Chains A and B, each alone.
Chain A
Amino acid sequence: MESESQTPHLQDNHGEDENAITFRILVIIQIIFIMSSLILGGIIFLGNIAYMIQGLMGISTIPNELISMWSLQGFLVLILSILLMRSYQGVMEKLPDAFSSSFYLYVFLTVIFATMGSFGLVFIIVIILQLVLIFIPSVRILWFEEFVEDTKPRIKETRFTLHLVRKSPLVVVGILIIVFMVGVAFTAPWIATYEGTDMVFEDAKLPPGAESNTIKLNFAYALDDMQFNPDIMPNYYYDEVAITEDHLKTVEIPRMFIGVSDMNTGFDAVSVNITFRIYNLNVTEYDAMTESERLSYLYADDSVISNTSVNRDNLLRYINLNNETGVYVWELQFTASQKTTEWSVNTRVGISYYSIYPIHIWGTDNYGGDIYSRIIWGAQEDLKISLSVVAVAVTIGAVVGAVSGYYGGKFDELVMRVTDIFFAFPGLVLAMAIVMALGTRSLETISIALMITWWPTYARLVRAQVLTEREKLYIEASRSSGASDTRILVSHILPNTIQPVIVQATMDIGSVLLVAAGLAFIGFGPPVGTAEWGMMIAVGQDYILSSPWMTLYPGLAILVTALAFNLVGDGIRDIMDPKLRRR
């Protein structure tokens, strides 16, 4: 590592105690964090291997788990935690550049944890806590001066890059479109008028802007699948329902629905009286009245006696309400002659009403799926596929390429021949063959196939970069000062090779979309009915003459998205190219 004279001198003596305490807290959090990351990563990784072994033995039916995202994530968490541990040693030894490499690792870990659900959330909070802690003034003294010195030229360069980006309209447009598309994907539940899987069969092949041919039956439940059991002596539930304009959009009359089905297994032979009443009251009036007073406002009622040993009657009824806005109170009573523990029912209470389907802005497909909504839901699926494919391919490619480029020798030769073989296959054909070999047709299978097809590109790219970078003087310098190979690779070479990889990755996000669409087109897509752009085109091609909108809009969506990524990638390449950058 670096010599003693380069380590920062602490400001003065009285600050040292304070530093030490904060530092110790940081260290404790770090240790807890790394240990739990290692355990979590290990559990996920080993668990998936166990799954795969079970799958091969025929015990479990999930043989594809090993190559799925989860085990890979577990593996990545393991590797990153180990690297973090090493770079954190540097922080404890107060080496200025250790901070920046652990900072990159934090960012990587955050990205991975962000996809890991509730576990990830906890870890993200821990990471944020650590970052905050690092910026506490007394800790900051340890590394900040050197860090500023270190990053000054980098910041200047970044400013210049941003200036160039702002000056190139195509990149700006591309970034705006990408932001828009990601926004669409995130806000899909609110801006889509239909669900991704909704099909209104009466509306098949309607042109853009058409109104629906039919009306929609909705249920608004007050009690949904509630299971009441024990201790029914008298037991009763009531609530207010309001009939609003929303319920009266069509001529059909809103109805109250009550469903109580006896789930009794037959051990507790007791008769229960189930009574359902609707009152023409609001809930405050209801509360103020006695039972007999209420009865004069009774709108409708129904009751049934359920007796296990004699009969098992279910209460199932639709009650028509008035076709005007108003407030009702419903009341459900279970009355038993004695306490019962076994008796249980499955209860539903709600309003059923008709509403008008939203307009089909961009028409419908042959099953009556709304094109506009499906494109929005498709944005989610497609961006998920392309981002995950590129992320995994970059990670695998970077690791393989860096190792083979840095160490060279037999492994390098082997890797290069393997990538040659991969390049000899056209991407689409190879991906197709892998989907066929994996068996199931789903978005996950397609992602896996594309990941396997895509990593060699990055392995080649990173290797070439590492080869040129390896020979440079600053690597020689850090090697002669005693830095280990891993350290040189991770904290010196990789950050310097990342630039062309980012450009390639940006453009590949677009290409993955296209290949995924191509797979769907030749019949290797997700199941029919999935809201995915390629699949929508594939389905629409059969109806191109009668309803061209089925293919037009999803194709435009792919075009716009892929074009945006390509514009940004191409623009960044121009901006970053040292040969074109200045002069």
Chain B
Amino acid sequence: MKLRDFVLRRIILAIPVVFGVLTITWFLSYIVGDPITMYITERTPDAAIPGIRAAHGLDESPVVQYFIYLSNLFQGNWGVSTSTGADAPVLELLAMKFPATIELAIVAMIFAIVLGIPLGIISATKKDKVQDHITRIFALSGVSMPIFWFGLMLKYLFFFQFSQWGLPYLPGGDRYNIRRFSYEPTTGFLLVDSLVFEHNVYMFTDALVHLIMPGFCLGYITLAIITRMMRSSMLEVIKEDYITLARSKGLTERVVIYKHALRNALIPTVTVIGLAFGGLITGAVLTETIFNWPGLGRWAVRAILNADMAAINGFTLLVAFIFVIANFIVDMIYGVLDPRIRYG
């Protein structure tokens, strides 16, 4: 199979998944709440409601409603969110909130990779020694902690207690210091905007400081996953014959591990990193709520608490698409890296 055919096959396989996701979100919103609430307020006169219902096709049979929903989605009409004060189109809100979340996710990912890969290597090379045990406990704690609890505890210690003790403390919420700076989004990525468009280094560093705690909190889970994957793939690679050969050639342990073993051990880890990116978005729902981060997650939680179905659907769809795309990209990378998969 050529690479082009492989890509095509993957795209075709992704289509039913996307439709499945669309169907499930529609079905859930259909049984959970009456979609009419999107279009009316308390001030809407009762007499006008049947008219509104008919105008949006909500008096049709479920099947017809489903197709109306689909056609609306494809025309970019994702409904109106009612939970954010002023009513705004969901698609617009998603575009507005998305950069903050992605920025947080990227920082979290950097934390996870920078810490996770060395930890994985240490843990594998010192297998069953004290270093290995400590690293494993540290890494496994990441997948054993409720992320919001970890965030709360970080915030309590580094923000509240440190400020009580008069130590330099980390900010406990928000993307930047609201009292010192005013921010008009251009791209929405604060780090990029402050440096490239506003040429404000103070704002850039302020934004960085604000990212430390939520970024670490969010990255901890991924760190655990990366460390674990790195460890097991490293352990496998170390036992290969070519590593023994490299050792017997008289190369130092350092060169053997970092030049020969690491490259091959990284392949599965890269896949895991790709897949974990989708998981970061879910983690963001909880982290953003704790750290008052004006991103998708906090918006989604507010929507959930107010039973704002259009917003919930929009969020779910977006996250699902991110998952599908991440899977797709990982598949592609895998296909390129390992030709056997293409022919399988």
The residues of A with any CB-CB pair to B shorter than 8 Å are 168-170, 417-418, 420-421, 423-429, 432-434, 436-437, 507, 510-511, 514, 517-518, 521-524, 534, 537, 541, 544-545, 548, 551-552, 555, 558-559, 562-563, 565-567, 570, 573-574, 577, 579-580, 583
- List residues of chain B with CB within 8 A of the CB of A436: 28, 32, 304, 307
- List residues of chain B with CB within 8 A of the CB of A574: 232
User: Which of A170, A417, A577, A579 contacts B133 (CB under 8 A)?
Assistant: A170
User: Which of A426, A433, A565, A573 contacts B323 (CB under 8 A)?
Assistant: A426
Pair A424/B320 contact, Cβ less than 8 Å? yes
A436, A573, A579 — most chain B CB neighbours (10 Å): A436
Pair A580/B236 contact, Cβ less than 8 Å? yes
Pair A417/B20 contact, Cβ less than 8 Å? yes
User: Which of A170, A425, A563, A577 contacts B144 (CB under 8 A)?
Assistant: A563
B28 (CB) vs chain A CBs: closest residue: A433
Given A429-B319, A436-B32, A523–B145 Cβ distance below 8 Å? no
**Nearest 5 pairs of A and B residues by beta carbon:** A421-B20, A426-B282, A562-B144, A555-B149, A563-B144
Given A432-B304, A563-B140, A517–B149 Cβ distance below 8 Å? yes
In the bound complex, CA of A567 to CA of B141 (Å): 9
Instruction: Return 11 A-B CB contacts under 8 Å, by A number.
Output: A170-B133, A417-B16, A436-B307, A521-B286, A522-B285, A522-B286, A541-B148, A544-B155, A551-B152, A555-B152, A562-B145
Kindly provide the distance from the CB of B21 to the nearest chain A CB, expressed in whole angstroms. 5
In the bound complex, CA of A541 to CA of B327 (Å): 35
Q: How many residues of B contact A (CB 8 A)?
A: 56
Pair B235/A429 contact, Cβ less than 8 Å? no
B136 (CB) vs chain A CBs: closest residue: A170
- List residues of chain B with CB within 8 A of the CB of A548: 156
Given A169-B133, A579-B239, A510–B156 Cβ distance below 8 Å? no
- List residues of chain A with CB within 8 A of the CB of B295: none
Kindly provide the distance from the CB of A115 to the nearest chain B CB, expressed in whole angstroms. 26
In the bound complex, CA of A580 to CA of B290 (Å): 41
In the bound complex, CA of A294 to CA of B301 (Å): 73
Pair A566/B20 contact, Cβ less than 8 Å? no
In the bound complex, CA of A510 to CA of B319 (Å): 24
A511, A523, A548, A566 — most chain B CB neighbours (10 Å): A566
A537 (CB) vs chain B CBs: closest residue: B149
Pair B145/A514 contact, Cβ less than 8 Å? yes
User: Which of B24, B136, B146, B282 contacts A555 (CB under 8 A)?
Assistant: B146
Pair B141/A426 contact, Cβ less than 8 Å? no
- List residues of chain A with CB within 8 A of the CB of B301: 522-523
Which residues 18-72 of B sit at the A interface, judged by CB distance below 8 A?
18, 20-21, 24-25, 28, 31-32
- List residues of chain A with CB within 8 A of the CB of B83: none
Which residues 136-189 of B sit at the A interface, judged by CB distance below 8 A?
136-137, 140-141, 143-150, 152-153, 155-156, 160
Pair A583/B141 contact, Cβ less than 8 Å? no
User: Which of B141, B149, B290, B324 contacts A424 (CB under 8 A)?
Assistant: B324
- List residues of chain A with CB within 8 A of the CB of B315: 429
- List residues of chain A with CB within 8 A of the CB of B278: 426
B131 lies within 8 A of chain A by Cβ: no
B228 lies within 8 A of chain A by Cβ: yes
Kindly provide the distance from the CB of A514 to the nearest chain B CB, expressed in whole angstroms. 5
Given A417-B16, A426-B278, A433-B28, A566–B144 Cβ distance below 8 Å? yes
In the bound complex, CA of A427 to CA of B290 (Å): 19
- List residues of chain B with CB within 8 A of the CB of A514: 143-147
Given A433-B28, A433-B312, A558–B20 Cβ distance below 8 Å? no
- List residues of chain A with CB within 8 A of the CB of B300: 429
B11 lies within 8 A of chain A by Cβ: no
B238 (CB) vs chain A CBs: closest residue: A580
B300-338 vs A, CB cutoff 8 Å, 1 = contact: the mask equals 110011010000100110011001100100000000000
Kindly provide the distance from the CB of B67 to the nearest chain A CB, expressed in whole angstroms. 19
User: Which of A421, A518, A534, A570 contacts B24 (CB under 8 A)?
Assistant: A421
In the bound complex, CA of A417 to CA of B17 (Å): 6
B5 lies within 8 A of chain A by Cβ: no
In the bound complex, CA of A510 to CA of B224 (Å): 14
